[in-house]
Amino acid sequence: GAPVEVDISKLQPGQMMTVEWRGKPVWIINRTKEMLDSLKKTDGEVSDPNSDKPMQPEYAKNETRSIKPEILVAVGICTHLGCSPSDKFKTGPESGVSADWPGGFLCPCHGSTFDLAGRVYKSKPAPDNLEIPPHKYLADTKILIG
């Protein structure tokens, strides 16, 4: 498949967009400082906090799993059996998400949860963190995926 060029200039802090790459959904999330801070709390609760497992690109081997700290680029497919997790960023009555949940993703199929860096929580069926696709910045707000 061809690489996909994405303009993220309109992606506000706290927002997420989805683009398609090789038939897969790729999520791009502009994380707020608060969202990034939540990763410190989830460090101890995820199974591979620094993305040490081999299949992840070098630039994903850090706490934020990203080239730029605030921008997450991840394949939105569960690493268990390939369902699509849903985003559960927000708390509050309308979201159905509890206030002590720092935000992240929930896979509806077998209940795997991922934090805001796509890191899988311990003791969940998904074996790995969400895949970070190969990507690079062509300009400050332009990403090439693939």
- Exposure of 82 by Cβ count < 10 A (0-12 exposed, 13-18 middle, 19+ buried)? exposed
Q: What is the DSSP letter of 43?
A: G
Task: Determine the size of the site formed for ligand FES (CB under 6 A).
Answer: 12
Interacting residue with ligand FES among 33, 41, 53, 110 (CB under 6 A): 110
Of 11 and 109, which has the nearer Cβ to ligand FES? 109
Site for ligand FES in 34-93 (CB under 6 A): 78, 80-83
What amino acid occupies position 44? G
126 binds ligand FES (CB under 6 A): yes
Q: What angle do CA 48, 76, 21 make, to 5 degrees?
A: 120
Q: Tell me the C-alpha distance between 23 and 141, whole Å.
A: 23
Of 89 and 105, which has the nearer Cβ to ligand FES? 105
8 binds ligand FES (CB under 6 A): no
Q: Tell me the C-alpha distance between 113 and 73, whole Å.
A: 17
Interacting residue with ligand FES among 14, 57, 125, 146 (CB under 6 A): 125
The residue written with tokens 């849903």 in the block is 86
110 is catalytic: yes
Report the nearest approach of ligand FES to the CB of residue 80 (Å): 3
Helix or strand (DSSP H, E) at 40: helix 33-42
Query: Which is catalytic among the residues 53, 90, 110, 136?
Result: 110
What is the contact surface with ligand FES in residues (CB under 6 A)? 78, 80-83, 107, 109-112, 125-126
Positions marked active-site: 110
